[in-house]
Structures are given as C-alpha cells and as structure tokens.
Amino acid sequence: MHDDFDRCVRAVHSKDSRFDGWFFTAVRTTRIYCRPSCPGMPPKAENMTFFPSAAAAQQAGYRACKRCRPDASPGSPQWNARADLAARAMRLIADGVVDRSGVPGLAAHLGYSVRQVERQLLAEFGAGPLALARAQRAQTARLLIETTELPMSEVATAAGFGSIRTFNDTVREVFALPPTELRQRAGRQTAGAGVISLRLPFREPMCADKLLAQLAATVVPGVEEWRDGAYRRTLRLPHGHGIASLRPAAGHVVCQLSLTDLRDLALAISRCRRLLDLDADPIAVDDQLSADPVLAPLVRATPGRRVPHTVDGAEFAMRAVLGQQLTTAAARAHATRLVAAHGEVVRDPVGGLTHLFPSPQVLASVDPDMLALPRTRRDTLLGLVSALASGTIDVGVGADRERARARLAALPGFGPWTVENIAMRALGDPDAFLPGDPGIRAAARELGLSTNANSLAAHSSIWRPWRAYAMQHLWAVSERLPR
C-alpha cells in the first residue's frame, strides 16, 4: 500500500488508525517517521514519503515520533494472513529466529538461500532481515527501559544487542534520546517484581471478550487458567519459561509477562499477539463476510471477531488429536492427565499455573504404555509427536501451510477435521474451513443453508479468503441452539 501515494496521504490527513502498521509516514523536513494516525499536525504532502516497515524508515535515517510511537503500532495484517516467502519470513523474524540463528538460520528454516531471502524482504518491506530484526530489538529495548528498573547493561543483553555501545547507538538513532533520558521521560511504570506490564494494541473493532471466553472455555488446568478477569497461561520459550496474563481493556489488551529470561521478551509478546489475532484487519474481514446476506446480520451484531490461535503450534496439534470426536470436557481430561504426568513443572507465585504442556520430544521418548489414552488415540498421538520431534512436520509460525497440511493428512488417524483445525489455529490460515464440523452444520441448518459438506463448501466461496473468521460466527450460532 505504501506505493499508493495519494491513498496514503488521505489516510494521514484523516488520521485513520485502520492503516497503522500497513505503512509508515516519514517527514523529510523533520526526519521523523510516524504512524498514519499520529495526532500531530499532518505535514504537507510534498514533504511526505512512505515506507512499508519501521525498519525501512529507520534504515533511511528517520527516527521514531515520540508522540505516536510508530514502532508500537499493530503489525501489518498481511504478515499473518499471507502464506508466501516474505510473510513466512516476517513471522519467523518476529519469533526471534534471526536473533537466535542469524540470517542463515532464517534461510534454512524457509528452505531458500540467504540471497533469495534478503532480496525478497528488501523488495517487499524495504529492509533486509538484519534491519527488520534490529527494529524489533529497538522496540524490545524501549519496553525494558520504560517498564523495568533493570540496569542498562542488562537491558542491552535482554534485548539482544551484542554490546552496550551498539545498544546506546541504536536507541539514540531510533528514538532520538539516550536510554537514561527515555526512562526518565517514561516515569516509573513497573508492575511489580519480575513482571513486565504493557499494552498490546489492535485495530478496532474487536470482540475481545468473546475471544478470551473461547480460550477460557477450553483451558487445560495447570497450563492455562481464567483468574480475576484475565486469561493466563504458561509459555515455553527458548531461554526458559514464562507466564502471560491477558486482560481486555478499551482499545488494547493489558499484557503482563513474567519471564525467567528477559531475552525472551520480544518472542513472548509476538506469541501473545498471535494467540489473540491482534494484527488482523477486522474491516476487511467484516466487509467480505457481510457480502453474504446470511452472515451479514451476524457480523453487524458482533463486528471484529478474531480467530483464537496458539502460542505453540506443536502443543495445539497434540491437543487437536486429544480432542478428536470428544466433548470439550473429555478432551480436557485427557490433556490434564498428560500434563500432570509428563509436563515440566513451573512455579506461579500469583496463580494456579503449574506446568508447561509436554513437548513432542518428551512425549516421543515416553513408553507408550505410560500414556493413559485409548489405543487408537494413543497411536495417532505418537505418530504426530514422532513427526514433530523429528522435524518431518512443521506447524510453527513460519511453516509452509500446504506442505504441513499434506503431511498431516498422510498420518494415520488424521482426517479433514483435525487437519483444518491445526491449519486454522496453529498455522494461522485465515481461510481454513471445516464444513463437516457438527457445530458448523448445526449453524448452517439454523441459518437455512445446506448441511451437506460439499454444498456448504461451495457456498463458503463467498467468504474467502476469511472462512476461518466466518466459522467463528457460525460456532457462536451453534452455541445458542438447544442441546
């Protein structure tokens, strides 16, 4: 969109927050870049230039606006919705792959050469993988500076900088302030010992209460809980574990993170955003779904529905197997036993979280007779964990969605319901669809649609590419029907 100069100018003049994250406005006269909705006086059009990413603006020598804080705007919805190389790379960069494995590691994960990845990202986002990762480190550093009392040397290490000098230079360059002054201007905002509190922005509208209620309805005790109006869960992270608390508020989600290693901060934030689908474009989704007279009243009643995703693709895939052809209560019972027997113990000083969900590597090494599951379900689960542990199947943020679908479908015990559930929740495919799901068929019957899977799939073509969002409305209808 940043290439459409006139459209970008109109968005800036109208201070349209829907475009935050889609592009960034740089002002040649002040050398500052902003989000489109910046509350300041809009610059003259002849002084504007537009960039597809904050990293591209920083690389061109612009610094972040202190008023609208463009680095904290929601991410572009394209990065999660699309399935091409550039979008997969952006999801992996947000997941910290470049910081942990460098650009060669990113390229290897994607299955392309370093040169191909760099060329594609430069063409798409105006910056290469190192610049994009650097912009993310700068944002993490600012969060730590403003929300903790850590010494700056520890902030630099936690944010992923190789030296205190690089940290100081980057903060000055991006925010036009030295780290100490940035902290002084922010004031004291700490949330308590060991806790980082921040706001996760999103594009309006959003049915946050409905989304969190969906997550609360399927909690696995010990791994997740609903406590005092917040959804809380444990996180498995590269340098340790964490606990996230997510609570809806006006215009944002209040996120509190307790981490054993602050180097995992950016990754924890990215996974929480992904879990709640915060980078979605609800206007585009609702406009498309409203084109169907059947769905239009549902969209008007609850605009901005999101698709609940996951913080760990492998965990959700295993839970999908445990839930095959079972009620929510029965699936929860299986998962709870699995967690108690094989999950890693964690300490939660303020709640009832006790475990991380067991990893595929752990379950792959367990004696099958130790798994308290029906034999068929056990064999299906073991086939999945073996493929996940060996890397034969990838259901992470940067996975090739169609390849993952094909390999999942080839596993014993995997039908369309399980594959599409994993595609929707773990792989984040916005067009995943389950025409044979009992809840979807019940809703279709109530709305006067055919319950035949083929006919329903044909009708759903009008909802594309947002059929996963359409299913959220249909499930809501089925939940209101008498049992």
In angstroms and rounded to an integer, the radius of gyration of the C-alpha atoms of the chain is 23
Active-site residue, selected from the candidate residues 264, 281, 394, 437? 437
342 burial level (CB within 10 Å; 0-12, 13-18, 19+): middle
What Å distances lie between residue 12 and 45, 126, 166, 251, 322, CA to CA?
9, 20, 33, 20, 49
Give the integer Cα–Cα distance in Å for 153 and 145: 11
Is 53 within 8 Å of 18 (Cβ atoms)?
no
244 burial level (CB within 10 Å; 0-12, 13-18, 19+): buried
Eight-class DSSP state of 226 = E
Amino acid letter for position 445: R
Two structure tokens written together for 230: 């917040």
Amino acid letter for position 295: L
Annotated catalytic residue 279: no
Residue 181's contacts (CB-CB under 8 Å, 6 or more residues apart) are none
What are the b/e assignments for 444-460, b being 16+ CB within 10 Å? beeeebeeebeebeebb
Two structure tokens written together for 196: 């980082």
Is 343 within 8 Å of 236 (Cβ atoms)?
no
Give the integer Cα–Cα distance in Å for 46 and 101: 42
Eight-class DSSP state of 20 = B
Q: From the centroid of its chain, how far is CA 332?
A: 23
Residue 363's contacts (CB-CB under 8 Å, 6 or more residues apart) are 318, 338, 342, 371, 381, 382, 385, 389
Largest CA-CA distance found in the chain, in angstroms, rounded: 71
Active-site residue, selected from the candidate residues 8, 34, 65, 68? 34
Indicate if the alpha-carbon torsion angle 242, 200, 395, 474 is positive or negative. Answer: positive
Annotated catalytic residue 34: yes
Two structure tokens written together for 238: 């590269």
Q: What is the DSSP string of 281-334?
A: -HHHHHHHHHTSTTTHHHHHHSTT------S-HHHHHHHHHHTTT--HHHHHHH
Which residues are part of the catalytic machinery? 34, 437
